[in-house]
Structure 1
Amino acid sequence: MTEVAKPVGPGTGDAITALFGKSKAVIGVVHLTALPGAPRYKGEAIEDVYQQGLDDARAYLEGGCDGVIIENHGDIPFSKPDDIGPETSAYMSVISDRIRRELGRPIGINVLANAAIPALAIASAAGAGFVRVNQWANAYVANEGFIEGEAARAMRYRAKLRAQGIRIFADAHVKHGAHAIVSDRPVEEQVKDLVFFDADAIIATGQRTGHAADLGYIRMIKEAGGLPTLVGSGVTPENARDILDIVDGVIVASSLKYDGVWWNHVDKARVIAFIDGLKG
């Protein structure tokens, strides 16, 4: 009997090479300060919010990073996807478009928490090449509560926008959460679920922002998925080369900020030293 091939989705292929023109990519995270509508927003001039995001993106890219991912990380505590207001998409679309137009490099979007549909809307409006979705398949318990996979809704929404070129970067066993609800299934099987639901790349993380995952764990995720794989937390100058020996990219922020603290500005000198260290 002839084996029937799995249907091929519109975003197939090597997402890293397609987006960045190289097989290994370093992506800096632009942690936007609190946006209007978020609890920590105190009425700051929105132009100042935009400028800080642009300045951080410029520091990453002029320092040698291959692209950036833009997050509403200042909007703590994060809302569940259906509770995120349209103002978040509006403000993130403007700053993301400004960053892309001014700096001319690949950008991605992550709307916290797990808001795949707003992320796709922003990416489509701003010309972003990818979105990050922390829970693409299955479910887990996050700081925000019970979070379900967004793949079915998001893929239909992407098709509705005719935005199939926007790649999906999906987390495996994402940080800041408890995965007991799916603990009867090995992590390898959960990674395969991301592939089955047409993710374009897989992201491995540690337990929290800035926490490094074990190299053996990273290798297991890479081998289980067979897709381009990135590490999305805990990447430092000390471990970056070892990590990139295994995976296809890193998403890095905390170690490139002043004093190594995620909410500080990006330190361009740290970025340059980080990139130079990868060349040694």
Structure 2
Amino acid sequence: MTASSLGVFPPKPSALAEMFTGTPSLIGAIHLPALPGSPHYTGQPVSEIARFAVEEAHAYVDNGFDGVIVENHWDIPFLKPGEHGYETAATMGVITAAVVAEFGKSVGVSILSNAGECGVAAAWAAGASFVRVNQWANAYIANEGFIEGQAAKTTRFRHRIGADPVRIFADVHVKHGAHAIVADRTVAEQTEDAEFFDADVLIATGSRTGDAASVDEVSVIRDNTVLPVIIGSGITAGNVAALMKECDGAIVASSVKDNGRWWGRVASDKVREVSRAAGK
């Protein structure tokens, strides 16, 4: 039984319905080139990166997707939460603002790894509607080391700067890590934890970027929350129809890139294939 069903919190309106008109909601991930401050940054002007982001967004939205999420995926190796510099929040804000100017409220921000406060700062400055936070509740071991849930710090920071309209998309059973340290929390319990800690949308993923979530795991998450549930990895034209029967939408990237990997360019024809398969 969830916190909402017990009446601890009033029922929330669907954050997906606030942002997107399509059902299921398809969100394309824009994997940015390396940004200032990261090891792979080559001095490219931020204005050029912003143009890249707008081009990628058009490839998604012009071919049937409902929105996009802007992500600093080339800032590898990723920093832990609280370690990101001012340059990351500022650059992500400027780039995302260019995308928002084209596409309005159907835009989100993801700053890796797990940078809830930095993401909210960039999203609020840019006029974006949501952020993705990979570990919202509990803790786990990831490539970056020990990662704690960011709910308490992020919600307080969001409120302090007046950014309460920015919605939280939170992963459950997060990829790229040893889940819940000692694995004593079931997926059902982790789902309830994320809802109790005031997430707005829950995300089911595979074990790493590009891997599909299992139907069983998506079903467990869906059955233990009143929040919208989307899939955060592994969606293809071949599986999208079956998986969308189990959830409310998906974040898509690798399968619609020209090389089939996250670091490729978005291919319009592949986006159309996924959109059509999803019934868009």
TM-score range, shorter chain: over 0.9
Summarize deviations over 1:61-94 as a string: whole Å, max 9, x none.
Answer: 1111100001000101000111111101111101
User: Which residue of the partner structure matches residue 30 of structure 1?
Assistant: 30
Q: Is the partner of 1:259 in helix, strand or coil?
A: coil
Residue 277 of structure 1 pairs with residue 266 of structure 2: no
Structure 1 moving runs of 4+ over 6 Å:
none
Summarize deviations over 1:197-250 as a string: whole Å, max 9, x none.
Answer: 111110000000000121111111111223100000000000001111010010
Contact 2:47 2:95 in 1 (8 A): no
RMSD between superposed Cα atoms in Å: 1.6
Output the CA distance in 1 between the equivalents of 2:233 and 2:258: 17
Q: Is the partner of 2:208 in helix, strand or coil?
A: coil
Residue 81 of structure 1 pairs with residue 81 of structure 2: yes
Structure 1 pair 180–124 and aligned structure 2 pair: CA distance change class (3 A): closer
User: Which residue of the partner structure matches residue 66 of structure 1?
Assistant: 66
Unaligned runs of 5+ in 2: none
Output the CA distance in 1 between the equivalents of 2:237 and 2:22: 20
Instruction: Provide TM-score, normalisation by structure 2.
Output: 0.95
Q: How does 1:60-139 map to 2 (within 5 A)?
A: 60-104=60-104, 106-139=106-139
Unaligned runs of 5+ in 1: none
Shift of 1:162: 1.7
Shift of 1:272: 1.4
Counterpart amino acid of 1:5? G
Structure 1 pair 227–38 and aligned structure 2 pair: CA distance change class (3 A): same
Counterpart amino acid of 1:51? R
Output the CA distance in 2 between the equivalents of 1:45 and 1:99: 16
Residue 140 of structure 1 pairs with residue 140 of structure 2: yes
Output the CA distance in 1 between the equivalents of 2:10 and 2:143: 35
Q: Is the partner of 2:278 in helix, strand or coil?
A: helix
Aligned residues: 276
Structure 1 pair 4–142 and aligned structure 2 pair: CA distance change class (3 A): closer
Q: Is the partner of 1:154 in helix, strand or coil?
A: helix
Structure 1 pair 180–167 and aligned structure 2 pair: CA distance change class (3 A): closer
Residue 6 of structure 1 pairs with residue 8 of structure 2: yes
Counterpart amino acid of 1:196? F
Summarize deviations over 1:163-221 as a string: whole Å, max 9, x none.
Answer: 21111110001110111514112121111001111111100000000001211111111
Contact 2:130 2:166 in 1 (8 A): yes
Shift of 1:7: 3.1
Q: How does 1:195-210 map to 2 (within 5 A)?
A: 195-210=195-210
Counterpart amino acid of 2:25? A
Shift of 1:277: 1.9
Output the CA distance in 2 between the equivalents of 1:4 and 1:172: 21
User: Which residue of the partner structure matches residue 21 of structure 1?
Assistant: 21
Q: Is the partner of 1:162 in helix, strand or coil?
A: coil
Output the CA distance in 1 between the equivalents of 2:50 and 2:198: 33
Output the CA distance in 2 between the equivalents of 1:4 and 1:247: 23
